[in-house]
Amino acid sequence: MKRFFSCLRESPIGSRTIPFLTFALLTFAQGYVAEPGQYWIYLTKLLIAGWLLMLARRSIPELSWNLSWPAVAAGLGVFGMWIGLDPLVERLGWAGSYPKLNLQGQPWNPPASFGTATMAAWFFISVRILGAAILVPMLEEVFFRSFLYRYVERVDFLSVPLARFSLRPFLITAVIFGIEHREWLAGLLAGFAYQGLVCWKGRIGDAISAHAITNFLLGVWVVWKGAWEFW
């Protein structure tokens, strides 16, 4: 255990991978737990991953939030693309060529599990939106943009500037980011947008902010429209 925490706090790779991989493992598990267990696992994984990221924070100097106009534009653009892609694909008659992935089990739908307008439903809706808008962008952007993109380029990844554009890591990172999501095509395009923002600005803070804007708006859209399939 001491070695684990030492790796988390001091290893450039461990600090950037352990919080995200812990979160991803629990995400995979939560969809296969009977209700209401999946909701409590989601809350638990937020707390655990947030705690791990806090412990690793000193080893990730590039972890910061930067709110810029490009970040806002990217966040809004990815949100619009995310909710508009399905109707576009159907209109073009390509729905059959865009099957959704199902790595997380059943969609997240608190009103169906706890009852519409109940305290429990709104509690877990709030947990989901806040977790997706605050913690998830930090976990994913640190893993994908700070670590994976640069590691694919060079094993000594800290020597790779965040602003460097290389086609191979750009494509590989976006594909893996896309596969992580049920809407894999939207995830792929989002990966291009967020990585492009990092390469442009030379920092991950703009991508974190853009990612947060996308996730927050998507959460509001899901609740407003009852589009639980996005969760």
- pLDDT tier for residue 187 given thresholds of 50, 70 and 90: very high
**C-alpha dihedral, 37 to 38 to 44 to 47, nearest 10°:** -150
Assigned domain for 30 exists: no
Assigned domain for 126 exists: yes
Assigned domain for 88 exists: yes
Read off the pLDDT of residues 152-171 as tens digits, 9 standing for 90 and up.
Answer: 999 999 999 999 999 999 99
pLDDT over 90 (residue 91):
no
What pLDDT does residue 34 have? 79
DSSP run (H or E) holding 119: helix 119-130
pLDDT over 90 (residue 93):
no
What pLDDT does residue 108 have? 83
CA distance 90 to 123: 34
CA distance 204 to 58: 16
pLDDT over 80 (residue 97):
no
Assigned domain for 138 exists: yes
Q: Is the pTM higher than 0.75?
A: yes
Read off the pLDDT of residues 190-200 as tens digits, 9 standing for 90 and up.
Answer: 999 999 999 99
Assigned domain for 106 exists: yes
**R_g (Cα) of the chain, nearest Å:** 18
Q: What is the DSSP string of 27-84?
A: HHHHTTS-TTHHHHHHHHHHHHHHHHHHHHGGG-TT------HHHHHHHHHHHHHHHH
Assigned domain for 14 exists: no
Q: 87: Cβ–Cβ under 8 A, 6 or more apart, which residues? A: none
Q: Quickly list H helices, 154-204.
A: 167-179, 184-201
Assigned domain for 17 exists: no
CA distance 47 to 135: 10
Range of the domain at 135: 64-230
What pLDDT does residue 153 have? 97
pLDDT over 80 (residue 103):
no
CA nearest neighbour of 101 among 218, 181, 191: 181
Q: How far is CA 9 from CA 1, 54, 70, in A?
A: 12, 9, 32
Total domain count, the chain: 1
Percent of all residues in the chain with a pLDDT value above 90, rounded to a whole number: 79
Q: How far is CA 84 from CA 76, 183, 216, 221, in A?
A: 12, 12, 16, 12
Assigned domain for 161 exists: yes
